[in-house]
Amino acid sequence: MGTTWSASVVDPPADAEMTIRAKLDMVIAQMSNWDADSVISRFNRQPIGAWMTLPVEMMTVLRTGMDISRLSGGAFDPALGQLVGQWGFGPHVANEAPACGSAATSVEVGDHGARRLADVALDFSGIAKGFAVDAVADALRALGAANFLVEIGGELRGAGVKPDIQPWWVDMETPPGMALPPMRVALSGLAIATSGDYRRFHMAAGKRLSHSIDPGTGAPIQNGVACVTVLHDSAMMADAWATAITVAGPGKGLSLAREHGLAARMIVRTDNGPREHLTPALEMMLA
């Protein structure tokens, strides 16, 4: 899915690496828009109105994506694949303006599958890395591993401690060129995800076009958010919320984070340099 992974496992069970690879292959086979034969790619080619049975893992991600879409007032939208394509961040370059429609109104989710109600395309790039981190962590635990750090494309989850009995200390990601004091968190039983406009972007007429797209305007965000980091028990939730809060922006995004008790940090680009906001839940965690 255009990203890298790494894992540090203390006293690794014999099958650890094979198990991790199998989990990642499963996520790619189901949820990669870059693979034309993946389940998500086939779903996106289904005739409008036709139900398709989906694997349970994909149902979990789809349901969670729809939930976060609803909770974020549509800032997160797992069905904006066509917009992602239009702005050049997906595997397909779409030239015409895509059909409008959000996940909330354009995808119907049933017990074991889903169907498109309009010509939209699912895109799980804002949530699937987190799901994969959780899947790998669960699989490692099932093998008997208790102490590990898993990372996929900058989303991390830690369990237990390092061999020196220290927790898995991780520095929150900071946009390149921003001089901010490092912020360290201990990832024991916790996941961290960061969305940022420096991760993937194009420059056009001197402007930064972020890969975070505002479904409200149909265009890359222009809200000044440089990055959002979320800490959560679930890497999938951290990933989806980081994307949602980035898109919702400094006002609405931060109030969403507070409303849902999320431990989050937002860095906003202002004329006077970067401005950092921490939610009360994060301040408590760092205290």
- The verdict on 123 binding ligand AMP (CB under 6 A) reads yes
Q: Is the CB of 16 or the CB of 62 nearer to ligand AMP?
A: 62
**Binding flags for ligand AMP, 42-81, as an x/- string (CB under 6 A):** ---------------------------------xxxx-x-
Nearest distance from C-beta of residue 284 to ligand AMP, angstroms:
25
Nearest distance from C-beta of residue 145 to ligand AMP, angstroms:
26
Cα-trace Rg, the chain: 19
Tokens of 257: 């984070």
Nearest distance from C-beta of residue 22 to ligand AMP, angstroms:
23
- Is 234 within 8 Å of 281 (Cβ atoms)? no
- The verdict on 239 binding Mg ion (CB under 5 A) reads yes
Provide the Cα torsion 96, 52, 78, 124; round to 10°: -100
- The verdict on 239 binding ligand AMP (CB under 6 A) reads yes
Name the β-bridge partners of 270: 273
Number of residues that bind ligand AMP (CB under 6 A): 21
Residues ≥6 apart with Cβ < 8 Å to 139 = 19, 20, 22, 23
Give the Cα separation of 168 and 162 in Å (integer): 6
Q: Is the CB of 84 or the CB of 132 nearer to ligand AMP?
A: 84
Residues ≥6 apart with Cβ < 8 Å to 13 = 19, 140, 143, 144, 145
Among positions 78, 126, 215, 220, the unique one binding Mg ion when judged by CB under 5 A: 126
- The verdict on 107 binding ligand AMP (CB under 6 A) reads no
**Strand order of the sheet with strand 113-116?**
52-53, 113-116, 107-109
DSSP, collapsed to helix, strand or coil, labels residue 203 as: strand
- The region of 34-42, 105-113, 123-131, 229-237 touching ligand AMP under the rule CB under 6 A is 123-131
Provide the Cα torsion 183, 200, 230, 192; round to 10°: -70
Q: Is the CB of 30 or the CB of 243 nearer to ligand AMP?
A: 243
- The verdict on 84 binding ligand AMP (CB under 6 A) reads yes
- Tally of CB atoms within 10 A around 52: 16
Give the Cα separation of 43 and 124 in Å (integer): 12
Q: Is the CB of 71 or the CB of 117 nearer to Mg ion?
A: 71
Q: Which of Mg ion, ligand AMP, none does residue 211 bind (CB under 5 to 8 Å by kind)? A: ligand AMP
Query: Which residues here bind Mg ion, judged by CB under 5 A?
Result: 126, 239, 242-243
Query: Which residues here bind ligand AMP, judged by CB under 6 A?
Result: 75-78, 80, 84, 89, 123, 125-126, 195, 199-200, 211-213, 215, 239, 242-243, 247
